């Protein structure tokens, strides 16, 4: 008798690959769908936050959750090259015993994020269920440069819009998870990490800076994704989609000035998730120009020809690759 396949067996990536066969070619290769209209190209993204998977009432306030639900969608739009967020629709699944004040605070957070990054609430849907779920569909307008995971090229420099690991640390602090008994964390790092977890920020001027520093005007497509599932997963997604080998230069990785040293802290940095930084690749000259304009841009490594995979330039760090990225199933 043939064994039934379960989602926990095939995993999230394989599930997406299989669902992609029901769609037009390459429709599921990026976080956002691209639709061409008469006047504009629309980007459409959907992201869901599920209670006890992505959040709990003990770890994050409803207002912060509303903010975060918007930001994770806008991050996906930006990673596809959105120049403007038009608006969002919101689907809520809530237990019938949910207090109205919780919903009110959630929408306050949603509106604060929209005020910060643009867009309006266009509508949505409500239903009852056993656990809280916030599902948002965001619509944006495609900018001059198209950002896709499969556009990286051998020889290009891998960069990130910022440091990683802070949201993971904030999550652990908020959930009272034992971190490291041998480490005394500075109060500044604790507060910064909690803020990164509860109120993450995105880089709305990224596309503008890309266009300003572009050395070759003919280039209208680059490789990019966001690090919502962790820095390692972002680089791996780019390598697999672009059929390139990624070489990470550990010595060039920037961390918070108070970030502790050690293998465990490297794991938090590379595999943490929910930092919502953009991870992308550019030709060397373009990368140099962008780094001069935006001092927060970090060079991570480079792509080369080879089997889609990740290696550290310092071979001693390759043991980090034994870790397993975040999985939804």
Q: Out of 58-72, 85-99, 144-158, pick the least confident.
A: 85-99
Residues in the chain, total? 329
Whether residue 111 is predicted with pLDDT greater than 60 in this model: the reply is yes
Whether residue 29 is predicted with pLDDT greater than 90 in this model: the reply is no
Whether residue 212 is predicted with pLDDT greater than 70 in this model: the reply is yes
pLDDT at 180 (0 to 100): 77
Per-chain mean pLDDT for the chain: 91
Whether residue 108 is predicted with pLDDT greater than 90 in this model: the reply is yes
Assign 15 a pLDDT band (cuts: 50, 70, 90): confident
Determine the Cα angle at 209 with ends 205 and 213, to 5°.
175
Assign 233 a pLDDT band (cuts: 50, 70, 90): very high
Q: How many CB atoms lie within 10 A of CB 242?
A: 21
Which tokens go with 42?
A: 């629309």
φ/ψ bin of 42: left (φ > 0), alpha (ψ from -120 to 50), beta (otherwise): beta
Percent of all residues in the chain with a pLDDT value above 70, rounded to a whole number: 93
Whether residue 39 is predicted with pLDDT greater than 80 in this model: the reply is no
**What SS3 state is found at 38?**
coil
Residue of 25, 55, 79 whose CA lies nearest to 237: 79
Find all residues with CB under 8 Å of 80, minimum gap 6, and list them. 30, 31, 32, 34, 43, 45, 140, 142, 146, 147, 148, 224
**Burial 26-46, CB ≥16 within 10 A → b, else e:** eebbbbbebeeeeeeebbbbb
pTM of the shown model: 0.88
pLDDT at 328 (0 to 100): 59
At the fourth CATH level, the homologous superfamily of domain 146-322 is PurM-like C-terminal domain (3.90.650.10)
Whether residue 320 is predicted with pLDDT greater than 90 in this model: the reply is no
Residue of 39, 53, 200 whose CA lies nearest to 113: 200
Phi, psi of 10 (to 5 degrees): -90, -25
The residue ranges of every structural domain in the chain are: 31-142, 146-322
For the residues 285-297, what does the mean pLDDT come to?
96
What does the pLDDT look like over 249-260, one tens digit per residue? Answer: 999 999 999 999
Contacts 24+ apart (CB under 8 A), 50-59: 50/131, 50/132, 50/133, 51/131, 51/132, 51/133, 52/131, 53/328, 56/175, 58/174, 58/175, 59/171, 59/174, 59/175
pLDDT at 302 (0 to 100): 98
Q: Out of 100-109, 132-141, 178-187, 242-251, pick the least confident.
A: 178-187
Whether residue 184 is predicted with pLDDT greater than 60 in this model: the reply is yes
Residue of 80, 50, 44, 77 whose CA lies nearest to 65: 50
For the residues 198-213, what does the mean pLDDT come to?
95
pLDDT at 188 (0 to 100): 97
Domain 31-142 CATH (choose: 3.40.50.10490, 3.40.190.10, 3.30.1330.10, 1.10.10.60): 3.30.1330.10
pLDDT at 6 (0 to 100): 84
């Amino acid at each position: 008798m043939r064994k039934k396949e379960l989602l926990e067996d095939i995993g999230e990536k394989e599930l997406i690959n299989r669902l992609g066969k029901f769609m037009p070619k390459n429709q599921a290769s990026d976080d956002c769908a691209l639709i061409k209209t008469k006047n504009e190209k629309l980007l459409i993204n959907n992201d869901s936050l599920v209670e006890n998977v992505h959040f709990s009432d003990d770890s994050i306030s409803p207002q912060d959750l509303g903010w975060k639900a918007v930001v994770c969608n806008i991050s996906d739009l930006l990673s596809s090259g959105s120049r403007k967020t038009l608006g969002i629709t919101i689907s809520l699944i809530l237990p019938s015993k949910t207090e109205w004040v919780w919903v009110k605070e959630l929408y306050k957070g949603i509106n604060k994020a929209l005020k910060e990054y643009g867009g309006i609430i266009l509508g949505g849907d409500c239903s009852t269920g056993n656990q809280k779920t916030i599902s948002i569909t965001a619509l944006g307008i495609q900018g001059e440069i198209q950002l896709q995971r499969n556009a990286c090229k051998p020889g290009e420099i891998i960069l990130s819009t910022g440091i990683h690991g802070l949201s993971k640390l904030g999550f652990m602090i908020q959930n009272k998870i034992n971190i490291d008994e041998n480490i005394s964390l500075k109060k500044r790092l604790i507060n910064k990490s909690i803020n990164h977890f509860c109120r993450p920020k995105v880089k709305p001027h990224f596309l503008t800076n890309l266009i300003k520093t572009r050395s070759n005007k003919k280039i209208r497509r680059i490789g990019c994704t966001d690090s919502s599932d962790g820095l390692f997963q972002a680089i791996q997604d780019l390598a697999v989609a672009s059929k390139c080998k990624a070489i990470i230069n550990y010595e060039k990785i920037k961390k918070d000035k108070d970030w502790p040293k050690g293998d465990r802290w490297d794991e938090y940095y590379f595999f943490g998730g929910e930092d919502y930084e953009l991870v992308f690749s550019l030709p060397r000259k373009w990368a140099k120009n962008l780094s001069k304009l935006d001092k927060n841009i970090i060079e991570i490594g480079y792509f080369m020809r080879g089997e889609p995979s990740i290696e550290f330039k310092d071979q001693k760090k390759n043991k980090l690759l034994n870790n397993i990225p975040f999985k939804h199933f």
